[in-house]
Amino acid sequence: MPPRLTPLVESLPATVPFVGPETQERTRGRAFAARLGANENVFGPSPDAVAAMAAADAGIWCYGDPENHDLKMALAAHHGIPPETIMVGEGIDALLGYLVRLIVTPGTPVVTSAGAYPTFNYHVAGFGGTVHAVPYRDDAEDPDAILNALRDTGAPLAYFANPDNPMGSWHPADRVQALIDGVPENALLCLDEAYIEFAPAGTAPPLDPDNDRVIRMRTFSKAYGMAGARVGYAIGHPDLIAAFNKIRNHFGMNRSAQAGALAALADQDWLAATVSRVEDARDRLSAIARENGLAPLPSATNFVTIDCGGDGDRARAILAALIERDIFVRMPFVAPQDRCIRLSAGRPDDLDLLAERLPEALAAVGPA
């Protein structure tokens, strides 16, 4: 007999939010020559972080500190906020799962944007919630539509990313603060700021952990270059942060990742240099797109989303042609944003390869 699953789990489709490049490589029988699809920071973590992780590996027989004390204290000092307003977890993905578990039960309405980060929806479905998705406006998440949906549905939770994945768009701090201020009483906004280090000054509102209507998600996966270590953190009201302790995996953080994140946070010079490299790569990606008759969208992230000048079928054909030529890319999956492909900031050699093979891919697809 197969294992007995809950009716909710039995009802869910057997899907995952993303198909990883490794899965595609196994299917294709060969590796990608340029890995530009997963929004990874190819420039890597601080050498200090690499050294700290290597040193910590000798003690990997020990569990990591279940309180994440040293990292939490360093983050508190870095942001100038109390440590009891910070929750460290296994990347934003895991923290989103914990947050949804705290708030969502079968039938609970939850608000997001159609085409926004799908892992959030994945968790909502897993706990039986009902997603109410509002459309993007001008290729950006729409704060007014989020607020209207919160009021109309009575949802206790909404998701909003700034800067946004998959479009790379962003709103200024005052617009985001107005969204936070407009959240109805007894509702909560999950503000995903995974890419905030790449954004222009004036994108993030001031941190206010006393505000019980917002929880903000940050990560070491993007600008700090530690995606494989899985280190994220949430900033929120101390009562909400304390509630995570009721359900989180207390030993979910491994000690090497903890040590690496602590060293990465201390090396702000490396972070600044990485942000500069990403800016240069974004400029190059945009130039390559324009040289090939495509339209890059403005980006405040470590990727550039490129309008392919047609519909989703054309974008999917271009994506497939690039993958056939060993360039790993992804694309938005909800219309009309699915007219685009999305490319991560790469090293000069990666972008040289893209510049060589994108014209070949476009020629194979044909004109729009």
CATH 3.40.640.10 is held by the domain 47-267: yes
pLDDT at residue 1, as a whole number: 67
**For residue 103, which of 133, 121, 81, 127 has the smallest C-alpha distance?**
127
> Under CATH, to which class is 7-44+269-365 assigned?
alpha beta
pLDDT at residue 225, as a whole number: 98
d(CA 50, CA 72): 20
Burial (Cβ within 10 Å: 0-12, 13-18, ≥19) of residue 23:
exposed
**Model pTM greater than 0.85?**
yes
Please list, in sequence order, all residues whose beta carbon lies within 8 angstroms of the beta carbon of residue 23, skipping any fewer than 6 positions away.
none
* Separation of CA 207 from chain center: 19
Q: What is the mean pLDDT of each run of 10 residues along the chain (368 residues)?
A: 86 85 95 97 98 97 97 98 98 98 98 97 97 98 98 98 98 98 97 98 97 98 98 98 98 97 98 98 98 98 98 98 98 97 98 98 95
SS3 call for 344: strand
Residue 165 CB neighbour total at 10 angstroms: 22
User: Strand order of the sheet with strand 188-192?
Assistant: 86-89, 232-235, 214-219, 188-192, 157-161, 109-113, 130-134
Domain boundaries, the chain: 7-44+269-365, 47-267
pLDDT at residue 2, as a whole number: 74
